[in-house]
């Protein structure tokens, strides 16, 4: 184990911490230590349960072939107890450990945060309606089901949304310099996913727009792209700029329904 393994990235880079910090600000500044501390108090099993509630580690049910499950540690049926899993809780709390997710799962999770806690079944659509699979023979009825995520309170949603908005809209947020646009408020989270010794990190940005009246959830992933803020951030900004140019979103917000794109 590295001596700085469970230190904040800001501390590793600059030798200074965040001092006392709230949940919203910890999200905005990507303060790993805040979430390490929370994971130590909560323990592994509740964290794994929340992954399950948000649909991580299983198919979303989209009407396309070859969807992947991803992996949530401890979900293989083995007893999730002992020192190994309790230590793994710290990595799971910041999206590391042996956790793997798909961009679609993260888009659905962001949509759930934006729409008040509803986990929806995503679908691919075109101007002609529901899209088909590659073989164009999928005649299953479209699944329009959704379910409310149990235990997710309005107060928790408000604090998380506050943090996701601050990521982009506040000068201390990790996406302020690379994602923010004057025309519309954006909410989301930068992510830099470690991939293995000697391999560049994956760069992520997941979020929704407009931040105050969400309409679209989105995810940008650059495999081995490096930093989430420096690499995925500018791509996200251009995506939102194109959506503005095409009239999909406006600065005043465009309705309260959330689509997965």
* Cβ proximity of 25 and 163 under 8 Å: yes
- pLDDT confidence of residue 197: 87
| Terminal CA-CA length for the chain | 39
In this predicted structure, the answer to whether residue 157 has a pLDDT above a threshold of 80 is yes
pLDDT-based confidence at residue 255 (cuts at 50, 70, 90): very low
In this predicted structure, the answer to whether residue 231 has a pLDDT above a threshold of 70 is yes
Of 159, 183, 187, 184, give the one whose Cα is nearest residue 173. Answer: 187
* Interatomic CA distance for residues 189 and 167, integer angstroms: 6
Tokens, residue 89: 């809780």
Q: Which residue did the predictor score with more confidence, 42 or 142?
A: 42
For the domain made up of 102-117+152-261, give the CATH fold: Beta-lactamase (3.40.710)
* Interatomic CA distance for residues 253 and 97, integer angstroms: 37
Average confidence (pLDDT) over 87-91: 87
- pLDDT confidence of residue 20: 76
In this predicted structure, the answer to whether residue 257 has a pLDDT above a threshold of 70 is no
pLDDT-based confidence at residue 74 (cuts at 50, 70, 90): confident
- pLDDT confidence of residue 11: 53
Give residue-wise pLDDT tens across range 110-126: 999 999 999 999 988 76
**Model pTM above 0.85:** no
Give domain limits for the chain: 102-117+152-261
- pLDDT confidence of residue 145: 75
């Amino acid at each position: 184990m590295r001596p700085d393994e469970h230190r904040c990235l800001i501390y590793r880079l600059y030798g200074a911490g965040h001092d006392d910090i709230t949940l919203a600000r910890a999200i905005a500044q990507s303060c790993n230590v805040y979430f390490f501390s929370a994971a130590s108090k909560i323990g592994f099993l509740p964290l794994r349960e929340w992954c399950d509630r948000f649909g991580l580690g299983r198919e979303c049910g989209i009407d396309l072939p070859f969807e992947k499950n991803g992996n949530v540690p401890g979900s293989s049926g083995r007893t999730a107890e002992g020192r190994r899993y309790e230590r793994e809780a710290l990595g799971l709390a910041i999206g590391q450990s042996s956790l793997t997710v798909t961009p679609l799962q993260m888009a659905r999770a962001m949509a759930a945060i934006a729409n008040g806690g509803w986990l929806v079944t995503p679908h691919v659509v075109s101007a002609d309606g529901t899209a088909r699979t590659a073989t164009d023979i999928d005649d299953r009825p479209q699944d329009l089901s959704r379910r409310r995520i149990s235990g997710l309170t309005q107060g928790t949603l408000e604090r998380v949304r506050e943090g996701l908005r601050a990521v982009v809209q506040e000068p201390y947020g990790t996406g302020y310099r690379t994602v923010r646009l004057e025309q519309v408020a954006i909410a989301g989270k930068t992510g830099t996913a470690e991939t293995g010794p000697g391999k560049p990190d994956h760069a992520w940005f997941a979020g929704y727009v407009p931040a105050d009246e969400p309409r679209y959830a989105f995810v940008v992933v650059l495999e081995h792209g490096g930093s989430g803020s420096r690499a995925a951030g500018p791509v996200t900004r251009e995506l939102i700029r194109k959506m503005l140019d095409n009239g999909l979103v406006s600065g005043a917000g465009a309705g309260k329904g959330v689509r997965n794109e």
